[in-house]
Structure 1
């Protein structure tokens, strides 16, 4: 690999550029007109404007991205996360252009992108799944009878959904048929695919996940993470390893995730996500993300493995540098996603210029940032500014370190979610691992003005 084109923006573009440079790989990044002065544009050796600010005209424009990569003499494309990272058609376009795709095969992206197919693949691989329909719900089937067998409450999920979208809850039989019709209509409008499936709903569930790597013939895991602290299905705080899991549950999650990767002939980095029911002490498959995750730094901190480096090695050499025996775990890591949002105004986006910025420093502190002092936060994209990561000997020490690091962070000119992170990390429910994926919505004081 001589030159890598980074098809993304913000902190992940900066992150990819850093590892590529350490490996002696030249870098180029495509940016929108709005991001021309961004940290990502400065982080790469070269940058090129893909188009105007709207993502559809720039970051999501297949022809513009491929054209820019070829024009700059790149031989590989790294999509990061979001945007085109899980787009099988784009992966095939990259391959057809003679470029190296830093990601899994398009077939694996398609299989895992269809949630009903992914659920069936997981079941075949021995990954535990929630009780539900085996594949998409047949429009002609007796949905009432099927739902009675599953039990209430349940969820109607779009087969093509993801990222918390395409999900509708059903509490009793009187809501079922109407909800299915609404879900099918919404799925057709949003995802272009009206198929849905039914699944048992777990109340007060935790969100846990397993990081996997594969090179098509060898497959390993790099432990687990807990991403239960969420707001509106978007992760807020993540930690690794996942706390308070029975050893048997943890082991089955890890081993079955590796087996799912094997069944897919997986190449690259991926994440198998689960719901964990702390009452039944059972974990069940949600989906597989066929890309690097936002929260990958906490896995890197507890393993010492550079996941982006492994992605690049697998994409170029065809083999990863690790075996399962090489992976060792040390300590505990916590990540806070810092967004440009106003917690005192219903988390409304807070674009503007950052007039002062000071990150904390010290042992065990890492900041993956897409902004610097003077950066302009635009209203066009995701509001995440940076990820503040801490690593300590154990979970209590990591919580203390994260609170201290947040207190030392200074960002002026825009509003951020730092006050919310401090409140969440200080909650006894977090310390006791009594939180769940709906905790913020069910704790009214968390949404009150600071």
Structure 2
């Protein structure tokens, strides 16, 4: 069904009513029923974000000369993030619209560094198999070769395999803190030492954990070194709109020094429209996202972030213990914070996911190995007991032979059985093509 531009104006109330009606069909994240995509705290927090974003909704961070307020806020956000990640006065960075852009800027900067400093025409980077797909996307866009390092049985990247993959064209080694699938921080100290010994760049993708792990450590948990305190780490990415609790889209990308950051920038001096200089991937840089990130960091402060981390860890501990107590279910690895996956050696976890979805829960499906995924926020504190009760009941019924409701299990089973991943990519292209066809 196609949609044409209305011939006449509609009232504000009419338009907003239709918006809200469509919104009612979306995932119920405010109720703690969704375990990805949204990092919800409470309504007071959300009102702050809306108001701060609204104050700068029309401003464009592309021009720091036109909007010095945005420049100041961005510099302060970068400074606060640098201190949080134990960087010194030499660390330099910018904000971006999200983790993917931060990662793309990292790869672009590594490519330029490799070309300019090493004379490598087509650089390579080594990433764990668990690294975020944004690295694959960046490599595709910027013509960088990706080499995949295996993970050990504890789901952390195997440093020996990373070393084996190094070639004369290697420019960048990547580790995650933590990777999204299993929530287990990679051995950053060892990766960075390897990179430093070979004269390579080392990036820590802390898009997920950057604004959680420092506070988890302050609460007394054993968190392995992952930031600029580690010699050899040359850049980091961390998302403010995840556990920084900012509005989408807001992230930071940080470099060990300004010389490295210069490789991220783009300039063009021959345009009749004037001199053009852009610090990141996008041209227009939404002022509202910068303002909301600045506002929430001042609003929460260390006290607020610690309080949220304490609540989240308590909920995570309860859920992990509860899941481990359900016959047939196992939590994968030893997660360092509030993200984890669980699998089964006796049940079809995709069918378990479908059974849970029929009860209103949205748990991400994972593969290699098949698993269900949880990302915990303050919103899940009040629903943990109900989730565990439903999970026990669904697992018990599947174990007794009761069929699961129709859902994604058949699709994941089919995809998992296809050895040619290019064929799976074709399936995904068809899916996207259909999803974004005319409404």
Does the alignment reach a TM-score above 0.5? no
The higher-RCO structure (CA 8 Å, 6+ apart) is 2
TM superposition score normalised by structure 1 = 0.27
Q: Which structure is higher in strand share?
A: 1
